[in-house]
């Protein structure tokens, strides 16, 4: 049961019709007592001038919480970011081949890890294979002199727009745990995704489109599947909606020509009535409420969504900017262009997966693996930043790039790299982020984060901070206890943002 009360709104004088209903009402009564106490505490805090996030950001612990809506809500404080586009490179891109050059690593190529460096624990166990150089061509870019390799050459012109964080840390040593934690804060399943927390806290500015959208670059399943964008113990209405990167982004959206609006409305009204009758005695199953809302949203989407996902109206210059004129970049370019169109129309959170099925996982042949994947994504990602900037959307859109972890400086199979959760790179742009900066560092070979270490919980707290939310006050009550996106850990790295 995901709330303190249950069967909210059922008259107390009615005789229960079953043992389940009796137990449900009894539990709800005890929950109401706790809710009354907590709400009185909130009122007291508000009177004393405290910032009551439970009241301001949808965390009120009552059954009205389960009758969830996605109406836009005020943040805790002003945040420049209003929307998020998360570019997820599934499998773990190599930081030491992209944004974190390590000259010493090249000098030590083929040697064992020096005693001064602790071995790293990876999917292979305690991994202490020979070191492997990075044969990249590096360049200092922009006024900031930010280092980037040729694998991200299209980003060179955008160095002063992005903030590179070189000191990220995760707990996940395998893909399942790493992807799960980067999306939900935990290596274990069952918690709400970052997108769900964001839409729970802020709602959406467009009631005719999903608040949280997900696109993948192939039909291959992402590791962990929908739990990466699920709502966990929150009402299911906050979960992400998976769209297609193909020509028909939303399947079965268009009403057949023979079915008029009146007939469609009548069908949906009857279906909604039947669903509500069925859900009446099952108020603990938020999936039913989410299903009802999905039908209602689908009807509204029939008017607005076709235009939102139709890129035919985009100019040839825009299509080239995203690489839609090249088969190699067309798929991810289309995804990036759709993400711009969605946030432009008020969608709160958009997540794009490159390499669905852990294709960035370069245990061998990293040159061809990463070379090919950057060839598919680098131009579209740069095009997205340029397009958002030219349209005045970058200031209000937070763009995040990265994977679940990085890669080791040691070799695997002679020409690959293993998982490295102890120090890796992500970057952010827009949404109040100060561009042209490099935050934190790893050691001299890129194995461990050593300066300004930012755990996934810190990253999530920072992202929520940029959206105007205090992660410690964004609370959802589950089984009688307050739950937070960061599992009561982490701190926002506020130096990343413009004051």
Helices (H) and strands (E) in the chain, counts: 11, 19
Domains annotated on the chain, with CATH: 83-247+309-496 (3.40.720.10), 251-303 (no CATH)
157 contact partners, CB below 8 Å, separation of at least 6: 141, 142, 382
Kindly report the backbone phi and psi dihedral angles of residue 435, in degrees, each rounded to the nearest multiple of 5, phi listed first.
-80, 170
Per-residue pLDDT, 70: 86
| pLDDT score at 408 | 95
- pLDDT at site 45: 34
Nearest CA among 477, 437, 487 for reference residue 185: 487
pLDDT of residue 295: 59
Cα 421 to Cα 405: distance, rounded to the nearest angstrom: 5
Report the pLDDT value the prediction gives residue 486, as an integer from 0 to 100.
97
What is the per-residue pLDDT across 418-469, written as a single tens digit (0 to 9) for each?
A: 999 999 999 999 999 999 999 999 999 999 999 999 999 999 999 999 999 9
Q: What is the predicted pLDDT for the residue at 238? A: 94
Q: CA angle, 92 as apex, 158 and 148 as ends, to 5°? A: 30
Of 451, 450, 473, 449, whose CA–CA distance to 461 is shortest? Answer: 473
The answer to whether the pTM exceeds 0.95 is no
Confidence at residue 474, expressed as pLDDT on a 0 to 100 scale: 97
Which residues lie closer than 8 Å to 296 by C-beta, 6 or more apart? 268, 272
E strand or H helix that includes residue 343: helix 327-344
pLDDT for 308: 83
The pLDDT of residue 150 is: 98
Q: What integer pLDDT is reported at residue 2 of this predicted model?
A: 38
Q: What is the DSSP letter of 4?
A: S
- In the predicted model, residues of the chain with pLDDT beneath 50 are 1-13, 28-67
Cα separation, 474 vs 185, whole angstroms: 14
């Amino acid at each position: 049961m995901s709330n303190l009360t249950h069967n909210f709104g059922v008259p107390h004088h009615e005789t229960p019709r079953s043992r389940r209903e009796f137990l449900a009402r009894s539990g709800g009564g005890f929950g109401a007592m706790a809710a009354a106490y907590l709400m009185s505490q909130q009122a007291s805090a508000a009177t004393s001038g405290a910032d009551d996030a439970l009241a301001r950001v949808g965390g009120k612990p009552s059954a009205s919480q389960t009758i969830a809506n996605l109406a836009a809500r005020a943040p805790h404080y002003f945040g420049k970011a209003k929307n998020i586009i998360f570019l997820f490179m599934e499998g773990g891109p190599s930081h030491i081949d992209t944004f974190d050059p390590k000259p010493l690593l090249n000098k030590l190529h083929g040697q064992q890890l020096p005693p001064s460096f602790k071995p790293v624990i990876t999917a292979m166990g305690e991994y202490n294979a020979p070191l492997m150089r990075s044969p990249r061509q590096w360049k200092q870019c922009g006024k900031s002199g930010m280092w980037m390799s040729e694998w991200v050459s299209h980003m060179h012109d955008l160095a002063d727009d992005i903030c590179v964080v070189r000191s990220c840390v995760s707990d996940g040593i395998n893909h399942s745990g790493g992807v799960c934690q980067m999306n939900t804060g935990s290596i274990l399943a069952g918690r709400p995704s970052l997108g769900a927390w964001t839409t729970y806290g802020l709602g959406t500015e467009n009631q005719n489109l999903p608040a949280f959208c997900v696109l993948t670059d192939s039909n291959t399943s992402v590791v962990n599947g929908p739990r990466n964008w699920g709502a966990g113990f929150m009402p299911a209405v906050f979960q992400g909606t998976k769209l297609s990167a193909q020509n028909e982004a939303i399947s079965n959206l268009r009403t057949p020509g023979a079915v008029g609006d009146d007939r469609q409305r009548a069908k949906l009204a009857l279906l909604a009535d039947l669903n509500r009758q069925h859900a009446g005695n099952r108020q603990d199953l938020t999936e039913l409420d989410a299903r009802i809302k999905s039908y209602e949203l689908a009807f509204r989407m029939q008017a607005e969504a076709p235009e939102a996902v139709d890129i035919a109206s985009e100019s040839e210059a825009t299509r080239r900017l995203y690489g839609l004129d090249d088969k190699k970049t067309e798929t991810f370019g289309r995804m990036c262009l759709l993400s711009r169109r969605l946030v432009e129309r008020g969608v709160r959170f958009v997540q794009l997966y490159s390499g669905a099925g852990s294709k960035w996982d370069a245990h061998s042949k990293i040159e061809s693996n990463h070379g090919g994947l950057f060839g598919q994504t680098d131009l579209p990602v740069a095009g997205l930043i340029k397009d958002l900037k030219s349209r005045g959307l970058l200031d209000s859109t937070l763009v995040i790039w990265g994977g679940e972890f990085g890669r080791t400086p040691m070799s695997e199979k002679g020409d690959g790299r293993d998982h490295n959760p102890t120090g890796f790179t992500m970057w952010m742009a827009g949404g109040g982020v100060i561009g042209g900066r490099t935050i934190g560092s790893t050691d001299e070979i890129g194995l461990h984060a050593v300066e300004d270490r930012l755990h996934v919980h810190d990253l999530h707290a920072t992202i929520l901070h940029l959206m105007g939310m205090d992660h410690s006050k964004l609370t959802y009550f589950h089984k009688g206890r307050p739950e937070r996106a960061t599992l009561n850990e982490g701190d926002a790295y506020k130096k990343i943002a413009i004051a």
